[in-house]
Structures are given as C-alpha cells and as structure tokens.
Amino acid sequence: MRCLRPLQILALLLILPAFGAAAQEDAAEPAAAQEEKTEDLKSEISDAKSEKPEPEPKSDAGDKSKPEDLKPEGSDSNSEKQEAEPKPKSDAGDKKAADAPEESKPAEPARISGIGSTDGPQLPGQPWRVHDLFRPQPRVVTPADTELTVPPPSDALVLFDGTDLALWGHRDREEPGMFVEPQWKVENGYFQASRGHGDLYTLDSFGSVQLHLEWAAPEEAKGRSQGRGNSGVKFLGLYEVQILDSYNNRTYADGHAGAIYGQYPPAVNASRPPGKWQSYDIIFEIPKFDGDELVRPGFITVLHNGVLVQHRRELAGVTGMKSPGKYSPHPPAGPIMLQDHGNPVRFRNVWVRSLD
C-alpha cells in the first residue's frame, strides 16, 4: 500500500468538507422541488373537485334516491333523504297517515251514511254537527200499550175527519201559489202518502198552533235508517218535526221520530212497533220578524205517544238536510205540510188550534 504524505493528508482534510456541503445542497434541492410539485398537485386536485358537476340521479330500478324506494323513518342510511323529500306511505302500517283524519277519510266524506256523517255543518250553540255520527242515540222508552186517540176540542179546525182531503192539496207545479186536487189515497178512515204525487199542504194558512195528528208506518218494516217509514210534518213548509219508523231502526240522532230534523234529537225514543198507530201533539210558536230582522225565534214542543220528547226547543232556523239552520223573513202564517218521502205512511184524526 502506498502511504500518503503529511501534506497530501492535510490537503484532503481541507477539500472533503467542501465536497460534503455541495453534496448536501444537491440532495436538498430535489427534495424542495418535489415538495413544491406535491403542493401544486394537491392544489390542482382540489380545484378539479370544486369544479366537478353533481352527477344526475340514476334512472334504473335500483336507484335508492327515488322517493318510492326510501326506507321507513328511522333508517340510518336514508334518514337524511327522507327529511329532504318526505312522502308518507299509503299502507295501513303508516302511523302518520292513521293519525291524520283528513288523510284517512273516504273519497266522498260529505255523503251521509245510514247512521250519520262526520263533516256536517256545526250546529249553533251545540257541540254537535248536523246528522252527527257520534251524537248519542235517544234512550228507548216504551209508551203505553194503547192507541192515544184524542178527539178534537170545540175550537179546533178538523183537517181530516176520516172521509176526504177537502182541506188539502198539492202545489201546482205550473202555477206557483195555487193548489191542485190531492192524489193521496183515502180509505178506511185514514189517508196515505202516495209515492210520486208530492207533498200535501193545507189550503189554509196558520201561525202559532197546537196540532194533533196520528200516523202509522207500514206494518212490514222495509228498508233501514231514513228509508223506513219516513215522512214529516212541516210548519209553513219550513220547520220540520220528523216522522220515521224508529222502532229498532238505527239512524242519525237528529233524524229519529220526534226530532226537530237536523237540529235536536228527541229526548227519548217513544216509538211503537211498525203498523201501530202513533200520535203527535205539537205546539208550534212561529218566529217573528220586523222587516228583515228576526225579533223572536221559533219554538217547538212535541209529545210523542203521550211522552214529552221536545220541550219548547228554540229553532236554529229553517230545518233541512245538512243544514245548520238559518232564518229568512217570511209571512206570519203559512200552510202545514205533510211530506212525501216515498214511503206509504198513513194519517188520521188531524186537527189544529190557532194560538195567535
């Protein structure tokens, strides 16, 4: 081996540090450049992401973003999508739909079923609606097992004595305000509503009155609810006391026999069986008007088969189906009307006393 001289060794000691520093600078420069390039690349990727458009929703059957494919509420994976696009399900298990009455009603909620409705007009001064499905049924009371026939007093006008309908008529459809000869059947001391011939009116007009009449629903109970033994007595043709075969016949409470139709049910159901004669004794107090202003409402008291079922009830106005009652000015007197509702209801012993 060749040995270095002292001067050569000294020269090497002076030169080697310079080479080391240069090597460090050469190694540091590529690292700095690489770091700068890396930062530039990151910046480009970030810019590209911010400029990338949102992808359009897929149209295939497996697209989970579709409302119809959303999972029920409570699913962790789709809860955010449900909040963004709520669409309640229509199946029976959907509690939200069941808790919303307006969404669970039938297609035609305004139609009256056989025993009432749930969306009739609100009755003034009462917690019930007209023909309210949930209004309590009148309690059944059995009247005396005798026909309550009351002869007319000396000051009464006998409207039917068992022979003819001379004091009655039908409205003339061609000449308003006039009457035509009645077509209801008269036989065996009674007269009977004849389907299709129309309502029957007294030829005389009355204000406040006491009225007695006896009526009987067909002996064979056909139909149900309002389609069974239905008629009515209307004062001035406006204010109705319902006639109905209410014996074991469920209907809406304010449509039973003895009801002030659509306003007040009878206090009790005092009906006799189909075919049996029944009696009404009615006190009607006519409403009073001063021009167009109502100064006193009307009142009605009813005894059905001798049982008090309406005790001076204040009328809410004109009675009618699905009507909450409203007053309109009318003359101080008018005819008494018996309704043709298509059922062969019979009548006898009809008399009236004026209370004016």
Q: Is the pLDDT of residue 256 over 70?
A: yes
| pLDDT, average across residues 344-352 | 97
pLDDT in tens, 20-35: 444 444 444 444 444 5
Asked if 208 contacts 355 with a C-beta cutoff of 8 angstroms, the reply is yes
pLDDT in tens, 289-323: 999 999 999 999 999 999 999 999 999 999 998 88
Rounded to whole angstroms, the Cα distance separating 194 from 110 reads: 30
pLDDT tier at 264, thresholds 50, 70, 90: very high
What is the second-level CATH architecture of the domain 139-354?
A: Sandwich (2.60)
| pLDDT, average across residues 2-9 | 54
pLDDT recorded at residue 195:
84
Q: Is the pLDDT of residue 126 over 90?
A: yes
Could you tell me how many residues make up the chain?
Answer: 356
Beta bridge mates, 353: 210
| CA–CA distances in Å: residue 132 to residues 123, 251, 254, 265 | 10, 10, 8, 11
For residues 66, 69, 70 and 74, what is the CA-based torsion angle, rounded to 10 degrees? -170
Phi, psi torsion values for 234, nearest 5 degrees:
-120, 125
Q: Which of 235, 281, 216, 229 is nearest to 256 (CA)?
A: 229
Q: Is the pLDDT of residue 54 over 50?
A: no
Mean pLDDT of the chain: 79
pLDDT recorded at residue 226:
79
